Amino acid sequence: MGEAQGEISSQVKFSLLLGICLASVLSALAIGGVPLSLIEIVRGEASKLDLTVFSEIRAPRVILAATVGASLAVAGAVLQGFFRNPLADPGLIGVSGGAALGAVAMIVLGSSLALPATFAPYTMPLAAILGSLCVTGALYLFSAYYGQFRIVTVLLVGIAINALSSVGIGIFQYVSNDAQLRSLIFWMMGSFGRAHWVTTVPCVLAMVSAVLVLITKSNSLDKLQLGENEAFHLGVDVKATKRDLVLLSAVCVGAGVAVSGIIGFVGLIVPHVVRFTIGVRHKPLMIGSALTGGSLMVLADLLARIVALPAEVPVGLVTSAIGAPFFLWLITKVKP
Amino acid sequence: MALQAQNVTINVGTKTIVDSASVTVKSGSITVLVGPNGAGKSTLLGALSGHSTPSGGRVVIAGTDLAQLTPLQLCNQRAVMLQSDNLVFDFTVEDVIRMGLVWQFEASEGEKSEVIKDLASTCGIEDLLSQSILTLSGGEKQRAHFCRCLVQISGSHDRDTSKYLLLDEPTSSQDIANELRVLKLLKETAIQREIGVFLIVHDLNLAAHFGDIFYIMKNGRLVADGDRDAVMTENILSSVYETPVKTELTPSGLRIHTF
């Protein structure tokens, strides 16, 4: 009886989340500098200008925001589970910084690689993924060598890694030309203002597939919570699972950073809210985090677009404004 | 059918932790391993469970070398209870016990819930199922993990594969009543379900009472093995623990004291 009730209430919760996600996407599509009527667009009655704004500017931007939000939130949930550390966030522990460094290196040095122009939409995401992979890989080796991290150690290592990647980005800033510099500043702030289909599609596909594969690992991630030995005794191929988690969470963060820069705290807040409302098992946690992260990011971006019309606020500012106080509150709860 | 360590040697760095140990865990009986702290008991259990690969010798389960089995194949033949407590997130007791549902055959949700309820009540934790495991006492947590291991080897449809349960001090946090409950349950499980139990325990009286076959380990070597009367003697125990030990055969069983 209790089991059946639990099933029903979690179905209700997921439907509600899905509803919120759809509502956020639809309102973000309609609201903006140029208000659009979605009904007119569906009926084919919209003006040519409206149609162009919708299909070339608004739609890629909203889809990108939703995917990046979902992807960062799932990466946060996975990293927290992987390190058994409630304070792990891709931004705080340096994974986003590593991705940004990779992307910036590609912006500045990429032109000297003389690659064909058709590769352009792929080289930067790949560089960003490689950058975040270096960080997740290094954190993993650190923890494998020194044993299980204490909660606060991961954050301290994150500070060091973030400082290192700032140094790298600073050096690239120094040697970059004007056009490159404008691109660089965009990384520091985090924004969906540069969403075009050609750059968006490959990254969205990468993030969506990484999230879907991560969800299939949820059972193993649950068992890893008992400890690595215990997970092995329960049938988990620990080495392969850890390798997959490190790789896939790097794809989630790297591909997101490549198209939108560093957007902090989403990966921290969302999994906690979902644990609190839906549960800690990783399957519902990841699905719930994807839906919640997507909604949150779409709404944060909507706010960033309209709060100072005709100007635009970086969306990273909005998420940090919500996330930083939450982080402080979390510290008092976790007591690292 | 048996789980066997054959001349297993385990080196860590340049140090030999287990030196050419041979152990047989038979289905339907309790094999007890005792010995002083640091003797290498847990390391030997690690080899029997397939977690650590021996530097020399091999471990076979029903004739197959453990090294040839995947983690998934292994988890259907044996469950392992270690002394550990790593959870940081609010999993419920039921969530944790359900992690033991690794059965390789189709079972309905009702069937699974039934098994979990039954085993939880025999472990005395049926009222805690919906609680967060982080709120439990050490003894209750330990029984929740014990219950998870029982669930793991309780697939009722595949009785043909013999199953093993390896436990490292499963009663270290239990009060005297629950200590007895856990060990009685182990005895019952071994006999009724034909399960081979390998048990590391420090309390020599409990070991003598519940064990069928005994091994004594010291400094990485097995120094004695056999049935109770051959192994649990004053001479052997006194020399292994380097402490005078007295044994006394009473109508209710063997009594072992140090003072």
Cβ-Cβ contacts under 8 Å between A and B: the total is: 71
- Tell me, yes or no, whether B245 and B149 share the same domain: no
When divided into structural domains, chain B yields a total of 2
> Which residue of B lies nearest to A239 if distances are taken between CA atoms?
B71
**Closest CA of chain B from A227, distance in Å:** 6
Which of B51, B87, B88 should we substitute to test contact with A (largest number of A Cβ atoms within 10 Å)? Answer: B88
For chain A, percent of residues with pLDDT exceeding 90: 38
Percent of chain B surpassing pLDDT 70: 98
B214, pLDDT greater than 90: yes
Shared domain for B54 and B70, answered yes or no, is yes
**Mean pLDDT, chain B, as a whole number?**
91
- Domain extent, residue A274, equals 68-334
In the predicted model, what is the mean pLDDT of residues A117-130? 82
Q: pLDDT digits over B63-95, tens only?
A: 899 999 999 999 989 999 998 888 989 999 999
At A124 the pLDDT is 83
- Cβ within 8 Å of B, A 65-104: 81, 84-86
Q: Which domain holds residue B129?
A: 86-160
Question: Domains in chain A: how many in total?
Answer: 1
Question: Under an 8 A CB cutoff, do B84 and A230 touch?
Answer: yes
A residues 15..74 contacting B (CB < 8 A) = none
Which CATH number do you get for residue B165? 3.40.50.300
Taking only the tens place, the pLDDT of each residue in A71-86 is 999 999 999 998 888 8
B186 & B254 share domain: yes
Q: pLDDT digits over A202-247, tens only?
A: 899 999 999 999 999 999 999 999 998 999 999 999 989 988 998 9
pLDDT computed for residue A10 by the predictor = 82
Facing residue for A281 by CB, picked from B70, B74, B95: B95
Q: Which of B112, B140, B160 is the last residue of a domain?
A: B160
On whether residue A313 sits in a domain, the answer given is yes
Contact list, B84 vs chain A (CB under 8 Å): 226-227, 229-230
Q: What is the DSSP letter of B127?
A: G
- In this prediction, residue B157 has a pLDDT band, given cuts at 50, 70 and 90, of low
Domain CATH for A166: 1.10.3470.10
Residue A93 lies in a domain: yes
Report if residue A44 sits inside a domain: no
From B75, B86, B89, residue closest to A235, measured CB to CB:
B75
Examine residue A5 and state whether it is found in any structural domain, yes or no.
Answer: no
Q: Which chain B residue shows the shortest CA-CA distance from A2?
A: B130
Is pLDDT larger for residue B105 or for residue A48? A48
Which residues in chain B are closer than 8 Å to A284, comparing Cβ atoms?
Answer: none
> The whole model's pTM is what?
0.90
**Is B147's pLDDT higher than 70?**
yes
Is the per-residue pLDDT at A8 higher than 70?
A: no
Band (A1; pLDDT cuts 50, 70, 90): very low
Nearest to A234 among B84, B87, B102 (CB): B102
